[in-house]
Amino acid sequence: MPSFLKKLSRRLRHPFNSRYAFARLRAYHTQPRSLEQVVDWAMNFGGGGYMRVKTMQKPAEITALAQAVQALQPRLILEIGTASGGTALIWSYLASEALISCDIKDMTPQRPLFSRFPPPGSQCQVSLLSGNSHEPGFRAQVEAVLDGRPVDFLFIDGDHTEAGVTADYRDYKHLVRPGGLIAFHDICEKQPLASNQVQYLWRRLKPLAEVEEFIHDPQQSGFGIGILRVPDEGAPDL
């Protein structure tokens, strides 16, 4: 389908998709959820068009990461790469104060839904920022929302080229507090797309700090999550 027809179809179906998505969210909020249940919802929330919520993750890998983040008792989480909001659903469950989720695409249609992701009673405020994470003006927006507050967990899952993921690491690592975590998605050596190059940065980082890998199957193509624990002197330079 040509792109303009696809966009038109999304606009025409948006009211229906929006009603469905909010009904799903109300169902999600009907009772307290365990972390494992939240991950399952992130994998299977469903929906269509702009309001589709999903996460392109291996369940075992994202669950292991979420458990590591939960152990931090995070107040503030920063995500580079919102995509369809599945991981934002998880992070909004874990962050007690704020989630800042960033994506290069316009997040205006999703904002009313995603801003209501935190469970009832949570003080977490969800900020969706749209723009190029590599541009100085966008970095200034992120820092303005942070207002000097340290990040407990940074999830980098945006630009997957070696230059792009390296730039995101260099530009945002200083925001993460000592003892906090920085995680990267798609670290497996075997990747289905030539443009998936996160593994090259991951190789360089592994000798520089305490790291851990969550890989469901060593022979798998794609996926894999690597986490780096920020030392007292800050995240390592490259």
Assess if residue 119 is contained within a domain: yes
- Inter-residue contact 103 to 89 (CB < 8 Å): no
Range of the domain at 220: 3-229
Q: Is residue 126 part of a domain?
A: yes
Asked whether residue 137 is domain-assigned, the answer is yes
Cα gap 156→178, rounded to integer Å: 17
Is residue 179 situated within a structural domain?
A: yes
Question: Torsion angle of alpha carbons 213, 63, 106, 2, nearest 10°?
Answer: 90
- Least Cα distance to 118 among 133, 101, 97, 102 occurs for 97
Establish if 152 belongs to a structural domain. yes
Q: How many domains does the chain have?
A: 1
**Helix pair 162-172, 136-146: axis angle to 10 deg:** 40
User: One-letter amino acid identity for 216?
Assistant: H
pLDDT tens-place values along the chain, 238 residues long = 567 677 777 788 999 999 999 999 999 999 999 999 999 999 999 999 999 999 999 999 999 999 999 999 999 999 999 999 999 999 999 999 999 999 999 999 999 999 999 999 999 999 999 999 999 999 999 999 999 999 999 999 999 999 999 999 999 999 999 999 999 999 999 999 999 999 999 999 999 999 999 999 999 999 999 999 999 999 999 9
Beta bridge partners of 182: 154, 228
Report yes or no on 235 lying in a domain.
no
Residue 175's CATH number:
3.40.50.150
d(CA 176, CA 78): 9
